[in-house]
């Protein structure tokens, strides 16, 4: 049995008796019943254009076009001459979501009473879907830690990621091969997506990773009312397609699977990340492209999110969806217990490294502050 600090020496992971300073990420603590997770409802969407400008509409929505069963997509095509890459040194924090909230405040507040104890927005947590994905996979993560900044403002907790030193180092030291492989996922999207409902993909166009279509969903995890946004690759534009988010399709690429060992690793590591990311916003399926080492897509497969838990059941020592969801839920409870001061100038920085507990530090009027003045002032008027 692993040793761990005495202040949370057993279940429950957060002690209510003494002020809690840390949260355990040990898997066994979270092997409980699956928590209540309400069907996510899309409350809106927004778009970012080729220059990363925000639009309060769905102009960047794309439509899925079913590929040939044996496609011959060359994912390397255009990397040198038809690629506009987003500047990932620019940290946008929650800005786009905050813009969306200000523009759509009336839609959110309408159902909320004027009682001062309830959050003015009618939600407990605002964040990116990607940050929640990291929380879901934390009990199984052995490589990369994270830093999450939290601020309580008008009764709502905002959670925004801070880049770790290690991640900054990796970003500054990517190999040319890695840089190119990061392009492959976007190129795959271009082969499968049309800009118009009756259009066709344009594989000779420019890939611009500034462009994004993001859904905004509302849901509830146990007693946490969540509002989050996530980037969506495309939708099913057919006449039978269900309403959003059920019509959305996530596109992924992965190395071709040739051996039982590769299949097992795919189930144990990649499917965990894929499941967590799409389960959160209620995206029901993934279209995966399997590529060879030269970036040629040799086959595609549709994966239903609801079938992933069955697919992995035969893997020894595999991940469990309930552990992911219970950990995320306990982390949000932990944050809400710790962060009590309602103040846009205060940040609690939650920090986690693999094989460690989650800990935090408090920062007042520092560069960790992430709620911009235009948002704080916009919410006051």
Binding residues for ligand 0WD, rule: CB under 6 A, are: 48, 86, 92-93, 96, 128-130, 133, 161, 185, 212, 214, 230-231, 252, 277
Round to whole Å and give the CA distance between 379 and 371: 11
Q: Out of Ca ion, ligand 0WD, none, which partner does residue 128 contact, by CB within 5 to 8 A per kind?
A: ligand 0WD
Q: Out of Ca ion, ligand 0WD, none, which partner does residue 133 contact, by CB within 5 to 8 A per kind?
A: ligand 0WD
Label residues 91-114 b or e (16+ Cβ within 10 Å = b): eebbbbbbbbbeeeeeebeeeeee
Q: How far is the CB of 198 from ligand 0WD (least distance, A)?
A: 25
Kindly identify the residues of this chain, within the stretch 4-43, that bind Ca ion according to CB under 5 A.
none
Q: How far is the CB of 2 from Ca ion (least distance, A)?
A: 35
Of 49 and 342, nearer to ligand 0WD (C-beta) is: 49
> Which value, to the nearest 10 degrees, does the dihedral of the CA atoms of residues 153, 365, 166, 319 take?
-20
Q: How far is the CB of 253 from Ca ion (least distance, A)?
A: 8
Q: How far is the CB of 2 from ligand 0WD (least distance, A)?
A: 29
Report the candidate in 337, 334, 363 with the shortest Cα–Cα distance to residue 348: 363
Round to whole Å and give the CA distance between 149 and 243: 33
Of 13 and 289, nearer to ligand 0WD (C-beta) is: 289
* C-beta separation of 352 from 339 below 8 A: no
Please tell me whether residue 287 binds Ca ion under the rule CB under 5 A.
Answer: no
Task: Specify the stretch interacting with Ca ion by CB under 5 A; choose among 117-125, 198-206, 248-256, 285-293.
Answer: 248-256
Of 180 and 231, nearer to ligand 0WD (C-beta) is: 231
Of 126 and 251, nearer to Ca ion (C-beta) is: 251
Q: How far is the CB of 267 from ligand 0WD (least distance, A)?
A: 18
Q: Which spans in the chain are helix H?
A: 95-103, 105-109, 129-137, 165-172, 176-192, 260-265, 271-279, 305-311, 321-338, 373-380
Of 233 and 330, nearer to Ca ion (C-beta) is: 233
Strand partners, 111: none
Of 101 and 192, nearer to Ca ion (C-beta) is: 192
Within 8 A by CB and 6+ apart from 318, the residues are 267, 268, 312
Round to whole Å and give the CA distance between 253 and 350: 32
Within 8 A by CB and 6+ apart from 87, the residues are none
Please tell me whether residue 251 binds Ca ion under the rule CB under 5 A.
Answer: yes
DSSP 3-state of 302: strand
Angular region, 10: left φ>0, alpha ψ -120 to 50, beta rest:
left
Q: Out of ligand 0WD, Ca ion, none, which partner does residue 124 contact, by CB within 5 to 8 A per kind?
A: none
Q: Out of ligand 0WD, Ca ion, none, which partner does residue 236 contact, by CB within 5 to 8 A per kind?
A: none
Round to whole Å and give the CA distance between 46 and 60: 8
Applying CB under 5 A, what is the total number of residues that bind Ca ion? Answer: 2
Q: How far is the CB of 231 from Ca ion (least distance, A)?
A: 8
Q: Which residue is nearest to ligand 0WD (CB)?
A: 130
Of 108 and 149, nearer to ligand 0WD (C-beta) is: 149
Cα 375 to chain centroid distance, Å, stands at 22
Kindly identify the residues of this chain, within the stretch 211-240, that bind Ca ion according to CB under 5 A.
233
Of 22 and 61, nearer to ligand 0WD (C-beta) is: 61
Q: Out of ligand 0WD, Ca ion, none, which partner does residue 212 contact, by CB within 5 to 8 A per kind?
A: ligand 0WD
Q: How far is the CB of 92 from ligand 0WD (least distance, A)?
A: 4
Q: What is the secondary structure of 99-110 as a DSSP string?
A: HHHHHTHHHHHT
3-state secondary structure 45-67: EEEECCCCCEECCCCCCCEECCC
Task: List interacting residues with Ca ion (CB under 5 A).
Answer: 233, 251
């Amino acid at each position: 049995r692993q040793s761990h600090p005495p202040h949370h020496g057993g279940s429950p992971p957060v002690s209510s008796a003494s002020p809690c300073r840390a949260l355990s990420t040990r898997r066994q603590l979270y092997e409980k019943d699956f928590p209540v997770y309400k069907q996510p409802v899309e409350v809106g969407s927004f778009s970012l254009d080729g220059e990363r400008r925000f639009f309060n509409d769905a102009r960047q929505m794309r439509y899925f076009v079913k590929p040939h069963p044996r496609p011959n997509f060359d994912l390397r095509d255009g990397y040198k001459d038809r690629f506009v890459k987003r500047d990932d040194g620019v940290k946008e924090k929650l800005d786009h979501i905050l813009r969306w909230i200000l523009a759509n405040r009336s839609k959110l507040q309408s159902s909320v009473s004027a009682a001062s104890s309830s959050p003015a927005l009618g939600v407990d947590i605002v964040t990116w879907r990607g940050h929640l994905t990291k929380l879901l996979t934390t009990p199984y993560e052995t490589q990369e830690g994270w830093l999450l900044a939290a601020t309580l403002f008008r009764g709502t907790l905002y959670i925004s990621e801070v880049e770790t030193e290690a991640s900054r180092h990796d970003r500054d030291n990517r190999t040319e091969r890695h840089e190119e492989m990061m392009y492959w996922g976007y190129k795959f999207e271009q082969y499968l997506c049309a800009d118009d409902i009756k259009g066709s993909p344009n594989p000779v166009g420019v890939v611009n990773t500034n462009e994004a279509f993001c859904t905004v969903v509302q849901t509830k995890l146990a007693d946490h009312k969540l509002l989050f946004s996530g980037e969506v690759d495309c939708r099913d534009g057919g006449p039978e397609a269900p309403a959003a988010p059920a019509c959305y399709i996530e596109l992924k690429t992965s190395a071709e699977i040739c051996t039982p060992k590769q299949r097992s690793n795919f189930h144990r590591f990649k499917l965990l990340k894929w499941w967590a990311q799409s389960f959160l916003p209620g995206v029901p399926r993934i279209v995966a492209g399997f590529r060879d080492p030269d970036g040629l897509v040799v086959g595609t497969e549709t994966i239903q999110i609801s079938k992933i838990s069955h697919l992995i059941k035969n893997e020894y020592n595999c991940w469990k969806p309930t552990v992911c969801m219970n950990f995320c839920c306990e982390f949000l409870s932990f944050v809400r217990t710790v962060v009590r001061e309602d103040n846009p100038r205060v940040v609690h920085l939650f920090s986690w490294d693999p094989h460690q507990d989650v800990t935090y530090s408090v920062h007042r009027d520092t560069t960790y502050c992430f709620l911009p003045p235009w948002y704080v002032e916009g919410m006051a008027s």
